[in-house]
Structure 1
Amino acid sequence: MGTPFISHLEPTRLDGYDPNKPHDRQAAHIPPVFVDAMEVREAVFVGEQGTPLNCEYDNDDQRSCHWVMYASVNMTTEPEQRDPATGAVLRPRRSETRSMPIGTMRVVPFPHPPHPPPGARYVGNVLQEEEPDDQEAGGDGGAIGRPRSRTLTSIEEERQASALPYGHDKPTTYHDGKEPYVKLGRVAVISEFRGHHIAGQMWRATKKWLEDHPTFFNPSVTELGMDQLKVGAVNEIPKWRGLICCHAQVGVVKIYEKWGFKVDEGMGQWFEEGIPHVGMFLRLRIKETDPKV
């Protein structure tokens, strides 16, 4: 493996991306870096963990920043051929070096849908509700629940589909329910390259970028206007102050802890695509700046 390098993709329009098709069957105008990110995510989350392909791409992808790590890998294009009688080489092995995507992560700007309720189950980012099943009634007169999709409220739909409006959430251990935060997620490394601190290298690059661009995700009053922001004064404009959240799979909590994240006990535990998750928070030290206008 050659020296890895990292590419960064800022939020970009992904019109025409078909979540029902794999990365290598998307329209030609989709940015190559995003296609490479999806190649990694499909290998890990879809191929290894069984997430349905059409649930892997979501509405947050086009408003997020993505990081993709590449490695120069020597790949055989034509195998060596030998004379079966003499063992003499008839045709030497041919190979080429390719920059292969081996890891990815993304940062989703605020706002976000409400924190998941403890014990909740999500499928394709949709919260499932328990529906009593009369045919599976328990002996005590209770019923064994069966998941059903819950209809989102209009506020939740808006918060999932766009960057507005900015709403409050329930307080947790490390989040007061009001402060804007960005969300680290979709952290994935190809199985053959695990054990080489690939995720840690991507996190350091992502962390440095966030520290160097603390106002990147802050809304612009000039572009949006006070009415659309739904605030009464400039000092009420949502502003990122270094708080980062991640929805971590329980099995990789220790990795995030090494990066400085702490489990938010107040968020409890929930399930995404059948995998148990917990909330974790980290605060970066960033320079205070004037609101973006």
Structure 2
Amino acid sequence: MGTPFITHLEPTRLDGYNPRLSHDRQPSHIPAAFRDAMCVREMVFVGEQGCPLEHEYDADDARSCHWVMYASVKMTTEPEERDPETDLVVRPRRSETTTMPIGTLRIVPFPHPPHPPDGARYVGGVLQPAEDSGNTTGNNSKAGNGRAHNGNAKTNENNPPVNNIHGTEAEPQRHRAFSIVDERRMSAAMPFGADRQTDFHNGKEPYVKLGRMAVIPEFRGHQVAIQLWNAAKKWMQENPTYFNPSVKELGMDAMKAGNTDDIPKWNGLVCVHAQESVIKVYERWGFKVDKGMGKFYEEGILHVGMFQRLEV
């Protein structure tokens, strides 16, 4: 493996992305870095873990920051040929060096849906009714996004919601008054309301969410995941106000803020919905299991909530 490098993709419109198609069949205007992130996610979450392809892309992808690690790899283009009688090489093997994505993660800005109830089950990001009850209350609640192989859980939607401000197939692209920066800030200014309190979250403080951490099998054990996390962490610490909404551009009413103390501001809190099998990985990175959040299933995989506060 050649010297790896990491690309950072800021929030961007992904209008026209079809969640039912693989990354290599998407429209050409979709940023290459995002298609590369989806390449890794499809290999890990869809190919290895059996999550439905249409659940891998979700409405948070357009408003998130993505990091993708690449490596230069020598690939054989033509195999060696030998004379069957003498076993002498008649044509040497030919190879070429190519750059390929090997790992990815994303950081989702606030706001977020409510914390999953203990024992809850989510499919495509939708809370499922309790198995022992016919009650369907809360069926439209969305889970937080995590998922990981070397990383996180995930939540997505079979069909992106029609009110997605970034546009979807269900909502054809139309004239918008906001730039992508405005949209990012607007999303951060639209709270879901007070959440339940857990061990590490008071139910009100804005937090960002680490999610979709994935490393392809051939490159595990090479510190890819921690390098991705370190890159994202360093960027967040250097840009602590990036996702904070702008009072000047949105106004107090749009942010539902009665006074300046109500304006949502990020103070270093990071959450991850971690697969139970990789808790120790996140603990080495400084995250702590939030027992008050309980355990829950995303795409049939058991998860726990974990938090860490960065110095910003």
Distance 1:284 1:180 in 2: 13
Q: In the TM superposition, what are the counterparts of 1:115-126 in structure 2 within 5 Å?
A: 115-126=115-126
Question: Which among 284, 288, 292 is matched to residue 258 of structure 1?
Answer: 284
Instruction: Give a deviation string over 1:114-173, Cα, whole Å, max 9, x none.
Output: 000000000000000125xxxxxxxxxxxx55896944379x989987444212111100
Match of 1:152 in 2: 140
Residue in 1 that maps onto 2:297: 271
User: Greater strand percent: which structure?
Assistant: 1
**C-alpha deviation, 1:83, in angstroms:** 2.1
Which region of structure 1 is more displaced relative to structure 2, 145-154 or 71-80? 145-154
- Give the count of matched residue pairs: 273
TM-score between both structures, scaled by the size of structure 2: 0.83
Contact persistence 2:208–2:270 (CA under 8 A): yes
Tell me by how many angstroms 1:13 deviates. 0.4
1:93 shift after superposition: 1.3
- Match of 2:84, SS? coil
Mean alpha-carbon deviation: is it higher for 218-227 or for 81-90? 81-90
Q: Deviations along 1:166-196, whole A, 9 cap, x unmatched?
A: 1211110000000000000101110111111
Secondary structure at 2:198's aligned position in 1? coil
**Do the aligned partners of residues 217 and 179 (structure 1) sit closer, same or farther apart at CA in structure 2, a change above 3 Å counting?**
same
| SS of alignment partner, residue 129 of structure 1 | coil
Give the equivalent residue in structure 1 for 2:190. Answer: 165
Q: Which stretches in structure 1 are left out of the alignment for 5+ residues?
A: 132-143, 287-293
**Residue 56 and residue 153 in structure 1: after superposition, are their counterparts in 2 closer, same or farther (change >3 A)?**
closer
The two structures have a TM-score, normalised by structure 1, of 0.88
**Secondary structure, counterpart of 1:115 in structure 2:** coil
1:218 aligns to 2:239 (yes or no): no
User: Distance between the aligned counterparts of 2:53 and 2:138, measured in 1?
Assistant: 21
Preserved contact between residue 19 and residue 54 of structure 2 (Cα < 8 Å)? yes
Alignment partner of 1:191 is 2:217 = yes
Any idea what SS the aligned residue of 1:44 has?
helix
Whose radius of gyration is greater, 1 or 2?
Answer: 1
Aligned 8 A contact 1:2 1:71 in 2 = yes
1:32 and 1:179 map into 2 onto residues whose CA distance is 34
Q: Residue type of the partner of 2:65?
A: C
AA at the equivalent of 2:101? P
Q: Secondary structure at the match of 2:104?
A: strand
Letter matched to residue 222 of structure 1 = K
Helix, strand or coil at the partner of 2:40: helix
What's the secondary structure of 1:222's corresponding residue?
helix
Residue 219 and residue 110 in structure 1: after superposition, are their counterparts in 2 closer, same or farther (change >3 A)?
same
Give runs of aligned pairs for residues 240-259 of structure 1, distance below 5 A: 240-259=266-285
Closer, same or farther: CA 113–160 of 1 in aligned 2, 3 Å:
farther
Q: Cα distance 1:251–1:159, how it changes in 2: closer, same or farther (>3 A)?
A: farther
1:112–1:159 CA contact under 8 A, matched in 2: no
1:226 deviation in Å?
Answer: 1.2
Quote the Cα distance in structure 2 between the aligned partners of 1:2 and 1:105.
Answer: 21
Mark the CA change 1:25 to 1:189 in structure 2 (over 3 Å): closer, same or farther: same
Give the corresponding residue for 1:289.
Answer: none
Q: Distance in 2 between matches of 1:151 and 1:212?
A: 39
CA distance in 2, matches of 1:200, 1:130: 37
Report if aligned partners of 1:128, 1:149 keep a CA contact under 8 Å in 2.
no
Confirm or deny that 1:79 pairs with 2:104.
no
Q: CA deviation at 1:224?
A: 1.5
Name the Cα RMSD after superposition: 2.2
SS at match of 2:128: strand
TM-aligned CA distance change 1:164 to 1:95, over 3 Å: same
Q: C-alpha separation between the residues in 1 aligned to 2:136 and 2:74?
A: 48
Query: In the alignment, residue 165 of structure 1 is paired with which amino acid?
Result: M
Contact 1:169 1:177 in 2 (8 A): yes
In structure 2, what is the Cα distance between the partners aligned to 1:69 and 1:146?
A: 45
Task: State the alpha-carbon separation in 1 of the partners of residues 137 and 121 from structure 2.
Answer: 10
Q: What are the equivalent positions in structure 2 for 1:14-93 lying under 5 Å apart?
A: 14-93=14-93
Verify the 8 A CA contact 2:129 2:139 in the aligned structure 1.
no
Q: 1:130 to 1:198 in 2, by over 3 A?
A: same
In 2: Cα distance, 1:43 partner to 1:148 partner = 33
**Cα shift readout 1:206-245 (whole Å, capped 9, x = no counterpart):** 1100100000010111222211111012232100000000
Paired residues of 2:188 and 2:244 also in contact (CA < 8 A): no
